[in-house]
């Protein structure tokens, strides 16, 4: 299989990498993180103009990319600059769920997401779900006018900034049943939707959302009733590729900064990078990052494979990123010494983002257990 990027992807990668390096300095990121919105509408507009958002959607949905490698190219560049704008929440998670389930007029929503004129988010995780996609306690019951939703959603990325929520709710079955989960399009400001916003430790924004007697028309149902798990799995898979690529970009940036520090910081009359013990530690970091890169490439290539192959590749990548991300963050900070934890240095901000990435869409432990379970399932089916 040829893993070389197409000419279009190489051009997009070069353009976005250069733009982030020149137009998204750490000082600007700090200002954006401290702003009331938590992202920059101006930067969001620029990403739309550059085609970055459109690259995350297929042509049939108003974009010009949408493959696993398109996601990887975009998010690796975003990770290198610790970009805060809601590309993951809107274009990947919400956009992928809508693209997988929508039909007819609902599909028109995707064009607005692809051109950046509208921001959406996926409101799926719950206080008791513990990364399990099929564990949904939020209820949706039919009435004469449509549906009534009641429940709570936790850690909804940009939940207070989105104009549209893609909400999962159970229309039948028990809390952990794979069947009976439905998706609904809920406009922000709908009566009964209560949002409590807060910042995360890495500068991103999230919200807790309470749904209290939220009345929706029947047309708010996204896709077939009770068949939402497949769309959730599709969106989460693409989100995992994006997160892993973002972590890879952050690790590369941390590695580069650490190498520069080792080459310039002097002790006993020579650069500390000349000391063999530090060279060995840095060599381990470089090897682990290349291992993570291979896992990301494998996951991006497996997005269109059969379910077990795809999900095992995704869990392998997320596990690897969680393990390697923690190692890179710790080693790079320790190799910097005491200065490694100062606010003025970009390094601790990369470390915090790597920690958060590990906990999004399933942490290291969750995906290791899932990888093992899927392997056992595949062996049983082959027997």
Q: Is the distance from CB of 181 to CB of 170 less than 8 angstroms?
A: yes
Predicted confidence (pLDDT) at residue 1 exceeds the cutoff of 70: no
Per-residue pLDDT at 228: 96
- Which DSSP string do the residues of 48-112 spell out, in sequence order? HHTTTTGGGS-GGGT-S--SHHHHHHHHHHHHHTT--SSIIIIIIIIHHHHHHH--GGGGHHHHH
Q: Is the pLDDT of residue 151 over 90?
A: yes
| Number of other residues whose CB lies within 10 A of the CB of residue 145 | 10
pLDDT value at position 123?
98
Task: Please give the span between the terminal C-alpha atoms of the chain, in angstroms, as a whole number.
Answer: 28
Question: What value does the mean pLDDT take over residues 80-88?
Answer: 97
What pLDDT, on the 0 to 100 scale, is given for residue 341?
Answer: 84
Q: What percent of the chain clears pLDDT 90, i.e. is strictly above it?
A: 85
pLDDT value of residue 378: 85
Region 32-41 average pLDDT? 96
Q: Residue 368 and residue 362: Cα distance in Å, rounded?
A: 10
25 has a pLDDT exceeding 90? yes
| Per-residue model confidence as pLDDT tens digits over 190-249 | 999 999 999 999 999 999 999 999 999 999 999 999 999 999 999 999 999 999 999 999
Structure token digits, residue 277: 């013990």
Kindly tell me the sign of the dihedral angle through the C-alpha atoms of 266, 347, 251, 254.
negative
For 252, the 3-state DSSP assignment is helix
Provide the token pair at 321. 């990123």
Give the per-residue pLDDT at 62.
85
- Phi, psi at 47, each rounded to 5°: -65, -35
Look at residue 379 and tell me whether its pLDDT is greater than 70: yes
Output the average pLDDT for the chain.
94
Q: What is the pTM of this model?
A: 0.95
**pLDDT tens digit sequence for 309-353:** 999 999 999 999 999 999 999 999 999 988 888 888 999 999 999
Residue 7 has pLDDT above 90, yes or no: no
| Average pLDDT, integer, range 356-370 | 96
Q: What is the pLDDT of residue 104?
A: 65
Chain mean position to CA 254:
19
Which of residues 9 and 77 earns the better pLDDT score?
A: 77
Strands (E), the chain: 120-123, 139-143, 146-157, 164-170, 181-187, 193-199, 205-217, 221-222, 266-267, 270-271
Overall average pLDDT of the 81-93 stretch: 97
pLDDT band at 108 (very low <50, low <70, confident <90, very high): confident
Q: Are 231 and 97 in contact (CB under 8 A)?
A: yes
Q: What distance in Å separates the CA atoms of residue 291 and residue 294, rounded to the nearest whole number?
A: 5
The CA-based dihedral angle spanning residues 162, 352, 232, 214, taken in that order and rounded to the nearest 10 degrees: -40
Per-residue confidence at 354, pLDDT binned at 50, 70, 90?
very high
Domains and CATH numbers, the chain: 7-114 (1.10.540.10), 120-225 (2.40.110.10), 230-382 (1.20.140.10)
What is the reported pLDDT for 259? 95
Half-sphere exposure of 168 (CA within 13 A, CB side): 33
> 364 vs 267, which has greater pLDDT?
364
């Amino acid at each position: 299989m040829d893993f070389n990027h197409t000419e279009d992807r190489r051009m997009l990668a070069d353009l976005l990498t250069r733009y982030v390096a020149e137009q998204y300095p750490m000082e600007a990121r700090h200002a954006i993180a401290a702003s009331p919105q938590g992202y920059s509408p101006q930067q969001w507009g620029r990403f739309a103009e550059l085609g970055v958002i459109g690259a995350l959607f297929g042509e049939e949905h108003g974009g010009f990319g949408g493959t696993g490698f398109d996601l990887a190219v975009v998010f690796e560049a975003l990770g290198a600059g610790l970009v805060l704008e809601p590309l993951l929440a809107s274009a990947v998670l919400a956009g992928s769920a809508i693209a997988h389930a929508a039909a007819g007029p609902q599909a028109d929503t995707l064009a607005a997401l692809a051109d950046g004129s509208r921001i959406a988010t996926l409101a799926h995780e719950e206080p008791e779900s513990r990364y399990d996609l099929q564990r949904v306690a939020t209820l949706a019951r039919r009435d004469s006018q449509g549906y009534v939703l009641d429940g709570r959603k936790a850690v909804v990325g940009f939940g207070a900034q989105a104009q549209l929520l893609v909400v999962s709710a159970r229309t039948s079955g028990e809390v952990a049943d794979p069947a009976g989960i439905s998706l609904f399009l809920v406009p922000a400001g709908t009566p009964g939707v209560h949002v409590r916003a807060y910042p995360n430790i890495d500068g991103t924004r999230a919200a807790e959302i309470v749904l209290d007697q939220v009345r929706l028309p029947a047309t708010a149902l996204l896709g077939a009733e009770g068949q939402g798990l497949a769309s959730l799995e599709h969106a989460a898979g693409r989100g995992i590729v994006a997160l892993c690529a973002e972590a890879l970009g952050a690790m590369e940036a941390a590695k580069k900064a650490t190498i520069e520090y080792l080459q310039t910081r002097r002790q006993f009359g020579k650069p500390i990078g000349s000391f063999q013990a530090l060279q060995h530690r840095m060599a381990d970091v470089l090897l682990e990052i290349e291992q993570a890169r291979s896992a990301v490439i494998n996951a991006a290539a497996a997005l269109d494979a059969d379910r077990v192959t795809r999900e095992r590749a995704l869990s392998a990548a997320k596990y690897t990123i969680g393990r390697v991300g923690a190692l890179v963050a710790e080693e790079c900070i320790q190799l910097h010494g005491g200065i490694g934890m100062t606010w003025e240095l970009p390094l601790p901000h990369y470390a915090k983002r790597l920690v958060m990435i590990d906990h999004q869409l399933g942490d290291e432990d969750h995906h290791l257990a899932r990888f093992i379970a899927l392997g056992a399932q595949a062996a049983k089916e082959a027997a």
